[in-house]
Chains A and B, each alone.
Chain A
Amino acid sequence: MYLLEVRDLTKHFGGIRAIEEVRFRVREGSITSIIGPNGAGKTTLFNCLTGITQPTKGRVSFLDTEITGFRSSSIVKLGIARTFQNIRLFKEMSVLENIMVSQHCRTGAGLFASILRGNAFKKEEKIIEEKALEYLELVGLEDFAETLSWNLPYGSQKRLEIARAIATEPRLMLLDEPTAGMNPQETSEMMELIKKLQELGKTIILIEHDMKVVMGISENIVVLDHGVKIAEGTPGEIRKNPLVIEAYLGKEH
């Protein structure tokens, strides 16, 4: 069963072809990596999938719903969450508040409910807090609940971003370079976390440069170069693919 289907997705910025007719499918419960040299269009692909930019052409369907053209908040509500390459936390909010606000699309208290504070409101707030602590525990940040998020060290900020994505209760998580800038210790911890997410039933797509991570955890790899998909397959296949080697190392003369 395929959770996500991307068909002929194309995005042009003026004359620049950021992605050109990319198509791939993602099985539920799998880990897919998207790799490619810098400027290959990986992040643009993520932006198109999450509704931050609208594709020029092509279709994306998620759980048999066509989501192309949806605004990002609706896409999140359907069950796709993402993290960012350059961390985008809510800096002036505490770690806990970051997670609390991320449950926004799964809760419903409105303006009037928050003024009146009836029982339903109080119950919902309590559940939000409890769940937030749970998610923090999952990524190992429960001791920093009251720290302002910009005071966290870099690695923890990345984990908090993941916790924030989990808090939207997604079925598919798009992680944009989760291990960038991390030392080997932090990287292996991050790999553990990603595997744990898979065990929790999340489907994962990640953009990654660290080949150890890519080859270690992904079942399927999509290789982009200059916006075009040049290869797709298991880690073993990709490692031997001459097109991929050429894209990364250049052509032999």
Chain B
Amino acid sequence: MTEQRAESKEQRAKNTDKKSPGFVLRPLIIALWLALLFLPFRGIKDALILFVMLSILLFIFRALSGYAKTLTEKFNGIRQSVNISLETVYARSKIPQFVTYLLLFGFILSVPFFAKDYFIDVLILAGIYVILAQGLNVVVGFAGLLNLGFVAFYAIGAYSYALLNTKMGLGFWSALPLSVVLASFSGFLLAVPALRLKGDYLAIVTLGFGEIVRLVLNNWDSVTKGPNGIGGIEPPYLFGMPLGRLSYYYYFILAFVALTVFMVRRVYKSRTGRAWVAIREDEIASSSIGINTTAYKLYAFAFGAFWAGAAGALFAAKMQFVSPESFTFMESVLILSMVILGGLGSIPGVILGAVILVILPEMLREIQLYRMLALGSGLVLLMIFRPQGLFRPGRLSRLAGRANL
């Protein structure tokens, strides 16, 4: 077996030998093909230049193929070293856990004292996205149900607070439970028909749901004022004073993020969380150990939508204005990217993913139009080098923390 492999390797080496006709012909054919592709767009002169340049380049490349081989080896080396998860890097650094936590909390709490308003504003947005992404993490990361219309629940949360506040005069604290319950309920309503479907089909239905919600908001002029949006929403009041100042709102969001992470984490490491992961891993097996898969998928949808609703209400209260523009399909994709970037099912990972994907585009504002390109290629690179995301999902049992995995 190994001998055969060695032989075929030798043969391949022969094929790339400088004397074989393939060595000359292949670069020429590739260059010709690409030049022909460009012909209709750039005219014959450019196509010819392209052809000549490409064939020379490809020749050089082929001549250096031996060198390229060592390069691929290097590439694989990089792949492997990147493949070490962040946790392992952290574990190797030997910094005591509480020190890191202390530093991190200290930094997070002290941000408003030194940062510019602009940066605080970005962080507030990041906080809202952390809540959203944690919600989606429950659905996609834990239960493994691909949801491409998650923004719908965000929109429902935001609009229900906006409407309850502007039309009925309800304050933030009385409207919040209502908008959260409404979002969960719509999650439930979507899930009842959608859960008969699996995988790609489920994704398409949820995508459709997201679009339906956006279109309703856009066209139901008498209630939502259509594309003009709803303005003049009150900020939340705390102890009788409005949270108008950015730094106050920052702490306010921070408290909500902490609550979200706390509750999602507790549910994950419980009977419910284990049932979700089991459904993600194998649905038939989980029903044959006694999990009512339909019920648990419903819970996942409703629980995820719950947090999206909360994030929506917080968003509406922060912006004091909502319009359908904020709830497009791209938004769903962004939230999903946060979850995937951070690592499906990993709570700290998803926090990091959300923060990165909010802050990075802001920092890249200088390169204007290219920033989405840079972000996109960044994500592609991540998927090549580390398809499982930045973090691995946490273990489900308490015991696991004590053993070394």
List residues of A whose CB falls within 8 A of some B CB: 50, 52, 71-73, 76-77, 81-82, 84, 88-94, 96-97, 100-102, 104-111, 113-115, 117, 121, 124-125, 128-129, 145-146, 148, 164-165, 167-168
- Contact between B278 and A76, CB atoms less than 8 A apart: no
* B274 interfacial by beta-carbon distance below 8 Å: yes
How many Å from the CB of B166 to the closest CB on chain A? 32
Q: Which residues of B contact A52 (CB under 8 A)?
A: 284, 287-288
**Complex Cα spacing A1 to B272, Å:** 37
Task: Judge if B393 is at the interface, Cβ distance under 8 Å.
Answer: yes
A84 surroundings in chain B (CB, below 8 A):
284-285, 288
**A150–chain B nearest beta-carbon distance, Å:** 10
Rounded to whole Å, the gap between the CB of A210 and the closest CB of chain B is: 23
A94 in contact with B405 (CB, 8 Å)? yes
Contacts of B400 in A (CB 8 A): 94, 96-97, 146
Cβ-closest 9 pairs across A and B: A105-B290, A114-B270, A76-B290, A90-B281, A88-B285, A101-B274, A146-B403, A73-B292, A102-B289
In the assembled complex, how far is the CB of residue A164 from the closest CB belonging to chain B, in whole angstroms? 6
Q: Distance (Å) between the CB of B400 and the closest chain A CB? A: 6
Q: What residues of chain B lie closer than 8 Å to A106, measured between beta carbons?
A: 290
Q: Report which residue of B271, B285, B291, B405 has the largest number of chain A beta carbons within 10 angstroms of its beta carbon.
A: B271
Residues on B with beta carbons closer than 8 Å to the beta carbon of A91: 281-282
Residue contact A88 to B284, C-beta cutoff 8 Å: yes
Let me know if B270 and A168 touch, CB within 8 A: no
Complex CA distance for A91 and B282, rounded to whole angstroms:
8
CB distance from A62 to the nearest CB of B (A): 14
Contact of B274 among A100, A115, A168 (CB under 8 A): A100
Closest Cβ neighbor of B271 among chain A residues: A109
CB <8 Å contact, A96 and B288: no
A101: chain B residues within 8 A (beta carbon): 274-275, 277-278, 286, 289, 291, 396
Instruction: Name the interface size band of chain B.
Output: 35 or more
Q: Which residue of chain A has the shortest Cβ distance to B281 in the bound complex? A: A90
* Pairwise interchain contact B271-A73, C-beta atoms closer than 8 A: no
9 residue pairs from A and B, CB less than 8 Å apart: A50-B288, A72-B290, A90-B277, A91-B282, A97-B395, A101-B275, A101-B289, A102-B290, A111-B299
Chain B 288-312 per-residue mask, 1 if CB under 8 angstroms from chain A, else 0: 1111110000010001000000000
Q: From A88, A90, A96, A109, name the one whose CB has the most chain B CB atoms within 10 angstroms.
A: A90
- A110 CB contacts on chain B under 8 angstroms: 271-272
Asked if B263 is at the interface (CB within 8 A of a chain A CB), the reply is: yes
Given contacts A111-B299, A114-B273, whether A92 and B397 have CB atoms under 8 Å apart is: no
Which of A104, A108, A124 has the most CB atoms of chain B within a 10 A radius of its CB?
A: A104
CB 8 Å contact bits of B364-393 with A (1 = contact, 0 = none): 000000000000000000000000000001
**How distant is A113 from chain B, measured CB to nearest CB, in Å?**
8
| With A97-B395, A97-B396: A81-B289 Cβ-Cβ less than 8 Å | yes
Q: Are B288 and A81 within 8 A (Cβ)?
A: yes
Q: Does B1 contact A (CB under 8 A)?
A: no
Chain B contacts for A129, CB-based, 8 A? 397-399
Closest to B395 in A: A94
Using Cβ atoms and an 8 Å threshold, which residues of chain A touch B278? 90, 93, 101, 104
Instruction: Name the residue among A72, A117, A124 with the largest chain B CB count within 10 angstroms.
Output: A72
Cβ-defined partner of B290 (8 Å) among A100, A104, A117, A128 = A104
Q: Is B267 an interface residue (CB 8 A)?
A: yes
Residues of chain B lying within 8 A (CB to CB) of residue A102: 289-290
Contacts of B18 in A (CB 8 A): none
Q: Are A72 and B288 in contact (CB under 8 A)?
A: yes
Interface residues of B in 230-289 (CB under 8 A from A): 263, 266-267, 269-275, 277-278, 280-282, 284-289
Most chain B CB neighbours (cut-off 10 Å) among A76, A77, A89, A129: A76
Q: Are B281 and A92 in contact (CB under 8 A)?
A: yes
| Complexed CA–CA distance, A145 and B277 (Å) | 18
| CB–CB A107/B271 < 8 A | yes
Q: Which residues of B have CB within 8 Å of A115? A: 263, 266-267
Complex-state Cα separation, A81 to B289, whole angstroms: 7
* Residues of A close to B273: CB separation below 8 A: 114
Bound complex: CA of A109 vs CA of B404, how far in Å? 28
Do A77 and B290 touch across chains, with their CB atoms under 8 A apart? yes
Give the nearest-CB partner of B273 in chain A.
Answer: A114
Which one of B287, B288, B400 has the greatest number of beta carbons of chain A within 10 Å?
B288
